[in-house]
Amino acid sequence: MCVIYEPDFTYAKQFWDIEFEFKTQKKDGFLLEHIVTLHNRSLNVVHILLVEGRVVMKLFDIGSASNNVTAIIHSEEDASYDQWNKVFYSLSTRGSNVFFKVNEKRRQRVKYNEKFRILQKWHKTSITIGGRRGISHKDDKKFVGCMKSPIFIQDTEIYEVRNSDRKNVKAGCINACDDLGFRCNDGICINRYDHIECDCFGTKYYGDTCHISDSPAVTLTSQDFLFINLTEERLFNLISLEFKTVEKNGVIFLGLLDPGNYLIIYLLNGTLQVSIVFNDESKEEDNNVELDWNTHLNDNRWHKITLKYSKKRIDIILDGVEESIDSKIVEIKQIYYGASLNNINHAKMTTNFTGCLKNYFFNTFNPLSSAVQKRPSQIKKGCHINQNSVKFVDKKSSFSYGNEVWSDDLKVVFDIRTFSENGLVLFNQYILDFDQGFIQLLMQNGMLFLEKQTTSGENIRKQLHYDKLNDNTFHEVTMIFRKKQAMLVISVKKSITFFKFKSGVRFHERVHLGNWAQSRGGDSFIGCLSAVSLNKYNLQEKDYVDQAFKHLEIGSCNLENICSKQSCIHGNCISLFHAIECDCSGTFYNGKYCQFSRLKSSCQEYADIGLNETGFYLMDLDMSRARSHLTTFCNMNNPSQTAIKEELASEYLVEKDQPIKLDYRNISIATIESHIKQFGSCNQSLLIECSTNDVILQAAKNSQPRTVCKSILPDEEEKTDYISFKTEDLPLTEIIFKNVKRPLRILVGDLVCQTDDRIMSFPSAKSKYLKSLPQIFTTLSFYFKANNRKGIIWRGTQKKTEWILSFENSRVTLGINFKDVKNLTLSVEADGSVLNLRWHSVVISMSKGQIRLEIDNQYSYGNVPHDME
């Protein structure tokens, strides 16, 4: 993804302000490159990147004596949570300062003095969004996500940049899971922007879209096994499988040439063992390795074991950790999954495996298709081991387990699954000398925090990770305390946090999950815990039933986000499993589903309740439950007029025969059509800057084709044509151009609807360029706002008189040229600088030989020559 902007200027600027927004789920990516070429052809370069979830700003000075002086500024929080993040930075020649800010947090400043030479005059600049210009560095990671609202400001002017190139960029920010209606059956759809993923965990399905109903796993009992008789002896190159069990002992894999020569993989007291035995008449050779780096493999979680043979060595990989043993070539004729054979000489294990197996491979093929199932009525497809899970259904859910004793060693492991943002997960007490305290795991904003407090007043709070857990998938959490080291170790999503205690500290063995009366953490989290273990004991379903509990559901962890089926109209939906709760805070609506608007539907309604200040107001025009609020402009001197703040892309360049589509960004076409029907009288205008003869134009809705740009003389470079459309042709959504031989510039005007007592308009972004219909006026009034320091606001002619209304800084000037007589100039100071982006009122009136210019209630008079009255 890459968009390149090249602002066209060759003069020095005092500062550059750049602001944009992005959202992504990726931890790394190239967000923006800003290259400033100085007059001596050296470069100032700004890189903004996403590195491990943090927004990082790097500045380079290339071509100086101290070539490539670099400064780095980091943001304070993770920005990869799939939420909109706002980035702002400013390069200023005043004091050679660089400012950097992310998400309205504290602004960071770096002062460069002479090292970073932004004091020099700039020759030209280019800005690349989503990547770097030219050849990317080998370590660059592409940005995958969405960006919006890029704003580039030079000095105090908002600069409209020219998009010169783009690569692999699509309009809009599409969530394939929601916008495209993608479904994962019973699974969870996860949007990755460049692709989607389906999480099938906890369902009875698998596959890319959770569409295959039979699981590839099998469940074996203590008397079941799978047998494969190979057609010939095969050299072993690769054995790979995944297993899951709650039993300490059992044979997982047995590869047999004859009873005296075999390879066996088995569990012994929860530890994985691998043995290779070669037996001939002269001697027995036995290679055995005990994989003791994980001694708790009967924890009801999937573990992967891989054996690879190469150059008389066997590499054994368990859950990514590798061990090696020496061995000669192993030939295998028969394969047993889950079986032990009593007739094997010096058998290492005589207990069959009980649990689940999946993804089993021997060399390059999956042997399941050739397997003979022993006791096939007992072998089940899919993994049907009890998950030993418990669902915390509301804020009062709680559960406690463990003995009422103080322990020197404590280990708690569980999988957590939730889509709620806040709540208490775990509470436990500890004792230190004569003081007692407690620790608790709290979920806030989807992340886990550990809070440690003592009765003496010590309070420590620490964030454990920077990836949100409330994504409705399982995440493993491990807490280990060892008295000898006086250390508490917590692991969450591969992020490990250490807490040091004073010597002599002991933890209470009874652990409380969810809401707990003694806790200060408040309500329970809402979600599921699965595969909970305490000091290597795996909690069973009977443990949940035997203990006192409340507000729990036992044996089910299939969470359904009810918000996906029944949502709030305008607020934030909170799933309570069996019902929803709507949080209307931060909205302009109330009611059970945030469906009742607290806004008004017209300027007149606001005026009726005493709001008489001209400016912008939020409105719900037709009190629709299906649409959120709109920004409107109310002139309270005439509250019957309502102007919707609309960013219609109103300027187009037509270079060939083609249609152009008009994009109303803030309001739907259906809503506009309903208002047109309601008012009954509407109009909208086009201004066409012609450079070629006889162009055929047709509004796509109802209008007939018409010819514009007629009779351009050979010596005329261009001509302006003006077209007005009435109610039956509106709204304009598409305009078709034919017979275009040279480029045309099209400007789209406001859509205005009115009745006898009410006016509503949909202003376009650049309607200020449009001509009004020819008419003789005695009073002209309108509002304007500006983002540059000077310019022409309005120009017109009346009889033999030319009028020009202009501004510079805060002074607005009306110049009137009376042809063949004299000129008149009226000047008024506006209320504050026009650069403050506020609306300023303008009234020009003629009465009894006088002209009056009024700006923000400040006015100036002038006399009209007698022959011009």
Position 615 scores a pLDDT of: 74
One domain for residues 238 and 373:
yes
- In the predicted model, is pLDDT for residue 373 greater than 60? no
One domain for residues 532 and 545:
yes
- In the predicted model, is pLDDT for residue 568 greater than 70? yes
Q: Kindly report, residue by residue over 705-762, the tens digit of the pLDDT.
A: 777 777 655 555 556 777 777 777 777 777 888 888 877 777 777 777 776 666 666 6
Rounded Cα–Cα distance for residues 440 and 520 (Å)? 9
More confident residue, 613 or 234: 613
One domain for residues 269 and 156:
no
Position 820 scores a pLDDT of: 58
Q: Which two tokens stand for residue 356?
A: 């689940």
Position 596 scores a pLDDT of: 78
One domain for residues 356 and 224:
yes
Nearest to 13 by CA among 92, 95, 111, 104: 92
One domain for residues 9 and 117:
yes
Position 4 scores a pLDDT of: 54
More confident residue, 353 or 793: 353
One domain for residues 11 and 150:
yes
Please work out, in degrees rounded to the nearest 5, the angle formed at the alpha carbon of residue 399 by the alpha carbons of 397 and 400.
155
Residue 734 vs residues 48, 269, 578, 664, 693: alpha-carbon distances, Å: 38, 74, 47, 11, 22
One domain for residues 251 and 370:
yes
Q: Which two tokens stand for residue 525?
A: 């989290």
One domain for residues 183 and 159:
no
Position 282 scores a pLDDT of: 44
Rounded Cα–Cα distance for residues 627 and 593 (Å)? 13
Q: In DSSP terms, which residues pair with 431 in a beta bridge? A: 436, 506
Q: Cα-atom radius of gyration of the chain, to the nearest Å?
A: 37
Question: Within 13 A of 88's CA, how many CA atoms are on the CB side?
Answer: 13
What CATH code is carried by the domain that includes residue 848? 2.60.120.200
Position 734 scores a pLDDT of: 79
Place of tokens 């205690």: 501
Q: Which long-range contacts (CB under 8 A, 24 or more apart) does 577-584 make?
A: 577/391, 577/393, 577/394, 577/526, 578/393
One domain for residues 448 and 484:
yes
Q: Is the pTM of this model over 0.95?
A: no
One domain for residues 114 and 208:
no
Place of tokens 């931060």: 586
Is 516 part of a structural domain of the chain?
Answer: yes
For the residues 335-346, what does the mean pLDDT come to?
Answer: 71
Question: DSSP string covering 344-410, please?
Answer: STT-S---B--EEEEEEEETTB-GGGGPEEESTTT-EES--S----EEE-STT-EEEES-SSEESEE
Position 670 scores a pLDDT of: 74
Q: Pick from 317, 346, 381: which residue ends a domain? A: 381
Pair type for strands 759-762 and 641-644: parallel
Rounded Cα–Cα distance for residues 837 and 831 (Å)? 12
Is 613 part of a structural domain of the chain?
Answer: no
Is 806 part of a structural domain of the chain?
Answer: yes
Contact between residue 832 and residue 814 where contact means Cβ atoms under 8 Å apart: no
More confident residue, 524 or 188: 524
pLDDT winner (highest mean) among 156-170, 203-217, 494-508: 494-508
Rounded Cα–Cα distance for residues 675 and 653 (Å)? 29
- Band of residue 213 on the pLDDT scale cut at 50, 70, 90: low
**Strand, helix or coil for residue 606:** helix
Nearest to 584 by CA among 567, 568, 601: 568
In this structure, which amino acid lies at residue 198?
C
Pair type for strands 163-167 and 2-5: antiparallel
Is 240 part of a structural domain of the chain?
Answer: yes
| % of the chain beyond a pLDDT of 90 | 0
- In the predicted model, is pLDDT for residue 202 greater than 60? no
Q: In DSSP terms, which residues pair with 267 in a beta bridge? A: 250, 272
Rounded Cα–Cα distance for residues 803 and 797 (Å)? 6
Nearest to 628 by CA among 563, 584, 658: 584
Rounded Cα–Cα distance for residues 374 and 358 (Å)? 17
Q: Kindly report, residue by residue over 293-336, the tens digit of the pLDDT.
A: 556 787 777 788 888 877 677 888 887 777 877 777 667 888 88
- Band of residue 566 on the pLDDT scale cut at 50, 70, 90: low
Is 470 part of a structural domain of the chain?
Answer: yes
Position 375 scores a pLDDT of: 52
DSSP H or E segment with residue 546? helix 541-546
Position 41 scores a pLDDT of: 60
Structurally, the chain folds into a number of domains equal to 7
Position 634 scores a pLDDT of: 78
Q: How many helices (H) and strands (E) does the chain have?
A: 3, 71
For the residues 52-64, what does the mean pLDDT come to?
Answer: 75
Other CB atoms within 10 A of residue 811 CB: 15
Is 628 part of a structural domain of the chain?
Answer: no
Pair type for strands 682-690 and 719-726: antiparallel
Q: Kindly report, residue by residue over 407-454, the tens digit of the pLDDT.
A: 777 888 888 888 778 888 888 887 776 667 888 888 888 888 888 877
Position 645 scores a pLDDT of: 58
- Band of residue 650 on the pLDDT scale cut at 50, 70, 90: low
One domain for residues 704 and 765:
yes
- Band of residue 119 on the pLDDT scale cut at 50, 70, 90: very low
- In the predicted model, is pLDDT for residue 661 greater than 50? yes
Is 602 part of a structural domain of the chain?
Answer: no
Residue range of the domain that includes 823: 779-868
Is 631 part of a structural domain of the chain?
Answer: no
Position 154 scores a pLDDT of: 59
- Band of residue 365 on the pLDDT scale cut at 50, 70, 90: low
Mean pLDDT of the chain: 72
Q: Kindly report, residue by residue over 768-806, the tens digit of the pLDDT.
A: 333 343 444 567 777 777 766 777 777 776 656 777 888
- Band of residue 766 on the pLDDT scale cut at 50, 70, 90: very low
Rounded Cα–Cα distance for residues 147 and 166 (Å)? 13
More confident residue, 797 or 539: 539
Contact between residue 294 and residue 321 where contact means Cβ atoms under 8 Å apart: yes
DSSP H or E segment with residue 793? strand 790-798
68's CB contacts (< 8 A; 6+ apart) are: 60, 61, 62
One domain for residues 133 and 61:
yes
What CATH code is carried by the domain that includes residue 179? 2.10.25
Position 848 scores a pLDDT of: 66
Q: Pick from 527, 554, 581: which residue ends a domain? A: 554
